[in-house]
Structure 1
Amino acid sequence: MMIDLGVPMSQIILAAEQTVYMVFVSLFLGTILAIIMSVVLVLTNADGILKNKYVFTVLNTVINIIRSIPFIILMVFILPLTKMIVGTRIGTTAALVPLVIFIAPYLTRLFENSILEVSKGIVEAAQSMGASYFEIVWYFLLPEAKSSLILSITTGTIGLIGATAMAGVIGAGGVGDLALTYGYERLNTPLMFFTVVILVIFVQIIQSIGNHFAYKTRNH
């Protein structure tokens, strides 16, 4: 027997598509920024091969400040920046700006820890072979930290799924917004339960994929 969810299935599918779009586009952009920032932090810290107190302090401080702001406040606070970048303050694409700014510093900290776990002996060996700074990062640090980086991205993806629900405040849509607008506000329990199940399944799939690739990388 079919359960009446109170909304057309096409609307549920659209909400799922919006969530996937917001999560993976912001994850892709955030990951690129996070890799750059984490590498800079590792190279310029007190024990880094490019030690630079000023660069490290400034970047470290900016990351700490952004990470200390709750996502819902960050999203509203940067609305003028969102308008400047994408031309609108509302909608699914507009939500990408705060989502990227939210996830990039979060992933940066995870990536930084992953890279710092790489043995210093590997860096010293690379330097003794005459490798450039770029080669040390690209051929030694990142490959050695790959397994941990994959798990960090997995964790970040799951965090983004939760953030997309709050993005409904600026009309971003998505499964979370569907649950709040058509489920909670209209006391539609079947729809709320259904959306929770969708999100749980989505998280389980993401975690399983992340664990699988991290395991393969670790045992390669």
Structure 2
Amino acid sequence: MSFDNLDWPLILEATLDTLLMTGFSLLFTVLIGLPLGVILFLTAKGQLLENRVTYQSLSLVVNVLRSVPFLILLIVMIPLTRVLAGTSLGVQGSIPPLVASAAPFFARLVENVLRELDPGVSEACRAMGANSRQTVLMALLPEATTGILAAIVVTAITLVGYSAMSGVIGGGGLGDLALRFGYQRYQSDVMLVTVLILVVLVQLLQMFGDKLAAMIHSKTQ
């Protein structure tokens, strides 16, 4: 195995594509998943906006999307992806299925984080006459900041793995590079390098998330 003949510019391009896929997908995942998680929490039994129909309907959608393996979702969503992104290939075509898979996962994490908060927070807001919107924005979300940040890190790491899988249908990035060169052309050195880069990305995301969470936690003490 030799690394002398590796196409490093191509590897760099694939790494940047993976970062773009992960970054944009994470952004849309948070924008969709955070309010969805808050709604799931608020409409659950015993909460501020308890609504059985709404909760069960949203919960069903979340559970269905979470239960579908990402590779299957990737293929099933090809027609919709073409409508939303204009293509089902490359970085642009990978983002819709990544978001569709990660947003329900993140929403459930947010719901669980909010459930773990002291019920006294909501009760105190009610006693002061705060409405649901004020309670969420001024009390619940600030209290849950550290937990939500941890959920974002977990989701980002999940997206790194999913982005690699998107290479199966030409999604670009390190997964596509590993499939085309490492697997189909039997270039084990390319496969090894792509795996190492993915491992490093995950480690960096975890370290950054842990440090940021610790910093925020210390400021709130």
Normalising by structure 2, report the TM-score: 0.95
Q: Between 209-218 and 12-21, report the one with greater CA deviation.
A: 209-218
CA contact under 8 A between 1:5 and 1:188: conserved in structure 2? no
Q: How many residues align?
A: 218
Match of 1:87 in 2: 86
- Partner Cα distance (2:89, 2:160) in 1: 18
Alignment of 1:1-220 (within 5 A): 3-6=3-6, 8-220=7-219
Deviation for aligned residue 1:131: 1.4
Deviation for aligned residue 1:5: 4.5
Cα deviation 1:115-154 (Å, max 9, x = unaligned): 1111110111111112121111111111111111111111
Structure 1 residue matching 2:144: 3-state secondary structure: helix
CA contact under 8 A between 1:5 and 1:190: conserved in structure 2? no
Q: Between 192-201 and 50-59, report the one with greater CA deviation.
A: 192-201
Deviation for aligned residue 1:97: 0.5
- CA root-mean-square deviation: 1.2
**Paired letter, 1:91:** G
CA contact under 8 A between 2:168 and 2:179: conserved in structure 1? no
**Paired letter, 1:72:** L
Deviation for aligned residue 1:190: 1.6
**Paired letter, 1:188:** Q
Specify every segment of 5 or more residues in structure 2 that has no aligned partner in the other structure, as ranges: none
Deviation for aligned residue 1:87: 1.7
Structure 2 residue matching 1:219: 3-state secondary structure: helix
Specify every segment of 5 or more residues in structure 1 that has no aligned partner in the other structure, as ranges: none
Poorly superposed stretches of 4+, deviation over 2 Å:
2-6
Cα deviation 1:75-114 (Å, max 9, x = unaligned): 1111111111112222210110000001000111111111
CA contact under 8 A between 1:92 and 1:171: conserved in structure 2? no
Cα deviation 1:5-39 (Å, max 9, x = unaligned): 54x22111110110000001000101111111110
CA contact under 8 A between 1:95 and 1:170: conserved in structure 2? no
